[in-house]
Structure 1
Amino acid sequence: MQITDTAAIVTGGASGLGGATARALAEQGARVFALDLGAAIEKAEQIDGVTYVEADVTDPEQVRAAVEQAAGSGAPLRTVVNCAGIGPSARILSKKGPHDLNLFRKVVEVNLIGTFNVVTVAAEAIAKTEPLADDQRGVIINTASVAAYDGQIGQIAYSASKGGVVGMTLPAARDLASHGIRVMTIAPGIIDTPMLATVSDEFRAGLAAGVPFPKRLGRPDEYAQLALYIVQHDYLNGEVIRLDGSLRMAPR
């Protein structure tokens, strides 16, 4: 599927994986609508072809308004990439007591329910576009994590939410097949995003040393490169791709 002269939505599009993906899609000629929270958008770099839209992925009305803006841009909405997410850490039991249920609920709400919300609303809009070759209309790419498979100590909420995203992949692809919409998921390993900007060089080096090959942190542009490849490769559907340098996370 071609990217030029189509509309695309990227959640979490103001920075990190989403920011890199929004830029890459715009460079390929897409009209990109980067959804994010207001505080993130205020700090975002202005990029030609990228329109920032303030929207909380857990809010159905805000997501619907953003999707309508993209779908009404004059270019067909063909691509959605879900990168919005949070990753607080807490053990089931710690010295502070049991895991806060509201924290667990919040992580699942943003990472899993937020992803489902965007998938549902965007799929409805994509399904209304004119079909392309093989009756294809578009593609939705979700973001999981290697934590869905190798959750570490303190990642119970994050791993559960990302495991849910992995679990949605195949049934979502099957549900949307009749509408010509593909669904794929990327499960990144340790990527050098702003979330790691506050840690020491020594800690970063330790993280990189744990990656079998290449022995370095992943880059957001590598995620974006894979996302673009998925968009353009029409036979990729219903699968999760690990982007992790063959990393398997240790317990801690």
Structure 2
Amino acid sequence: MDKIKVLLVEDEDVLAMIIAETLGKRGFEIKIAKNGVEGWSMFNQLKPDICIIDIMMPRKDGISLLQDIRKVDEFIPAIFLTAKSQTEDVLKGFEAGADDYMKKPFSMEELILRLKSMMRRKIPGIITNSPVQEVSNKIGPYEFNHKKLELMFENSTIALSQREADLLALLLQHKNSILDRNIALLKLWGDDNIFNARSMDVYISRLRKYFVKDTHVEILNIRGQGYKLID
């Protein structure tokens, strides 16, 4: 099996070296960029399997870098590193397309676990106790194919990210009933903390936009409980 290629964009030399040495010993192939401009160039050359990006960097910050990456690759897993704990910074990262974040200082073992978890999610069918749907599922006039990461409406097809598809699959399993918020967070994010909860809200908002072509399909926010997909 080929090594997982990791692009690390981090301007702190010592931290970058520690991460590179640790991941290298665990079988990852890692390349380091020292700023966002270098990271963008290296991303296009390397075609990595996963990105680790520091938010605060010279020349081009991590959020701007990920926004550029998402224009050409919607699905590559990306994790932010941040020294800031403010909710708004984490939210900006999720809105830019981040899948996860870690606040400095962090455990190398935890980073490795999160990377492995994110790579498993990249492969269809890794929702706990939830096999991938190999056939299309009807959601009102839409057809959803979890395996292909596609949501179809008439003659148009919306390409979904793995996280969007996994979340929609959970909603579909609980169609017309409540999907418990904490259960969804634990299954997809592995933790129900406030930052992951805000991230899920961002993904719910994205999914709602995909269903605007038919007003009968709704994703309702059930206050204090979770979400309900109705069609």
TM-score (norm 1): 0.39
Specify which structure has the bigger relative contact order, considering alpha-carbon pairs within 8 angstroms and separated by 6 or more residues: 1
Which TM-score applies when normalising by structure 2?
Answer: 0.42
